[in-house]
Amino acid sequence: MSEELSHDFEGGDAGASQIYPAQCSSLRKNGYVVIKGHPCKIVEMSTSKTGKHGHAKVHMVGIDLFSGKKYEDICPSTHNMDVPVVKRADYQLVDISADGYLSLMLESGELREDIKLPEGDLGADIKQRFEGGEDMLLTVMKAMGEETVVAIKQNSK
């Protein structure tokens, strides 16, 4: 009988969840929320009055943190929505490989080479500054298992 009840717990992580629930009414503009499965920054929010059947509704517009696409959602103010755990870290740019991957150095001296040069103006700006010999820090944002460079800072070392 004990064989039937055996469980397989192989696929665990360190317990750090990528999202957490928050009541819709507690969310704020410039905060983060998951809309249609995408981590978004809230750019617009409005609340409708309580209707005949009870709940006030919150209308949200969010911009995807990674693709820049706009998403909208309407949720009763008392319901929970998922909020992504967003982390930012600064890395020193060491090199840009021919296939478009960045070599980034952590403060500990370790190298990361798993983040691609972002597309568009930001990527072109990074490449141009790097080729000009500029020393810079890149801000990498991570949410829901995705990571991308979101900003450039002048390295003041």
Q: What domains are defined for the chain?
A: 19-84 (2.30.30.30), 87-154 (2.40.50.140)
Q: What is the pLDDT of residue 16?
A: 55
Q: What is the pLDDT of residue 11?
A: 45
User: Nearest 5 degrees, angle CA 130-CA 127-CA 154?
Assistant: 50
Per residue of the chain (157 residues), give pLDDT as tens: 444 554 444 444 444 578 999 999 899 999 999 999 999 999 999 988 876 777 788 999 999 998 889 999 999 888 999 999 999 999 999 999 888 899 999 888 889 999 999 888 999 999 999 999 988 999 999 999 999 999 888 876 5
Q: What is the pLDDT of residue 154?
A: 81
Q: What is the pLDDT of residue 91?
A: 92
CA distances in angstroms from 20 to 33, 35, 53, 84, 104, listed in the order given: 10, 13, 28, 7, 29
